[in-house]
Amino acid sequence: MIRLSAITPSGPVQLGNYLGAIRRWAAEGTEEDVYFISDLHAMTTSHNPSRLRSLTREQLAVLIAAGVDPRSVAVQSDLVRELGALTWVLECTCTYGEAARMIQFKEKSAGRSSVRLSLLTYPVLMAADILLQGAHEVPVGDDQRQHVELARVLARRFNGTYGEVFVMPRSVVAPTAARVRDLADPSRKMAKSAKDAAGTVFVLDPPDLVRRKIRRAVTDDLGVVRYAPEEQPGVANLLEILAACTGKDPEGLAGSVQDYAELKEAAADAVIEELRPVREVTQGLLDDPAELDRARAHGAERSRERCTHRLDAALRMSGLG
């Protein structure tokens, strides 16, 4: 069974990516799975080439440092030729109406005078990511379920029109290992591309900076440590972060600390300890580019090996070559 997930290099890896996704990929993933850095997806909005390249390397290093099986890790653009070819074939299988109906496209393009065409077509590239690798399961949040549904529609249509080539993928609800909220504004998710980094802990932030950000986290003026996400979202977020790092439950932890200051110190200590090994190994990999290049080349070769026959079949059966 192949499971496929990705992280987009739109910013440095943050604590939410780590606790919510990467740590689970490391603990539960197998060498069959595919965990990739979706650098092509990061180009659907304005981007800086050298920043994109360095964020891609950094994310690759973080995934390997976090213990994700290196045999399952790849960089999307290392398969750009294969993906480009299949995306075209799938675009010729998809209608304009289907692409334009995507809620993410509507939301991200709303009110903008100019959007990249790739913002419209990227769900088809995502379908190519999934179908090329023969993924069975794609763990996603609500915002991506419609894209996996599109991949299913295209797989079914292609298989029905030209012959069986693609495995039918299905979206599965990503288990919520942790949902980390912005420290400065707990009404929104912690995100790597947030405009203001004060509320975002990055995996590579030095320990003193992590502590400062957590000390400045927004709480409330109720002054009681309770796990009440609706009434006390800031406090609940700190409790959830502490819980995710210590393996305890947030309600139990609420009873074990006296006040907000103590909660913040405990959360800072736990996050710093949780991130320390990942940060150190990542730094080591970034300081040894040859080692990282080797891991990257190996991942690319493996992904290519498993998809070449499927791509060749898709091209041949749709009348190409």
Question: Which residues are the active-site residues?
Answer: 108, 189, 192
Size of the site for ligand AMP (CB under 6 A): 16
Q: Where are the beta strands (DSSP E) in the chain?
A: 4-7, 34-37, 73-75, 137-140, 170-173
Which of 48-56, 107-115, 172-180, 220-228 is the region at the interface with ligand AMP (rule: CB under 6 A)?
172-180
Radius of gyration of the chain (CA): 21
Q: Contact between 189 and ligand AMP (CB under 6 A)?
A: yes
**CA–CA distance, 192 with 299 (Å, rounded to integer):** 24
Nearest in space to 20 (alpha carbons), one of 184, 164, 192, 204? 192
Nearest in space to 64 (alpha carbons), one of 302, 293, 270? 293
- Member of 128, 190, 270, 286 binding ligand AMP (CB under 6 A): 190
Q: If DSSP codes are grouped into helix, strand and coil, which group holds residue 45?
A: coil
Q: Contact between 171 and ligand AMP (CB under 6 A)?
A: no
Closer CB to ligand AMP, 7 or 204, in the complex = 7
Least distance to ligand AMP, CB of residue 279, Å: 18
Least distance to ligand AMP, CB of residue 25, Å: 9
Q: Contact between 180 and ligand AMP (CB under 6 A)?
A: yes
**CA–CA distance, 30 with 96 (Å, rounded to integer):** 37
In DSSP terms, 3 is beta-bridged to: 137
Least distance to ligand AMP, CB of residue 180, Å: 4
Q: Contact between 186 and ligand AMP (CB under 6 A)?
A: no
Q: Contact between 135 and ligand AMP (CB under 6 A)?
A: no
- Member of 115, 178, 281, 313 binding ligand AMP (CB under 6 A): 178
Least distance to ligand AMP, CB of residue 190, Å: 4
Q: Where are the beta strands (DSSP E) in 234-309?
A: none
Tokens of 259: 């006040």
Tokens of 219: 């709480």
Q: Which residues bind ligand AMP (CB under 6 A)?
A: 5, 7-8, 16-17, 20-21, 141, 174, 178-180, 189-192
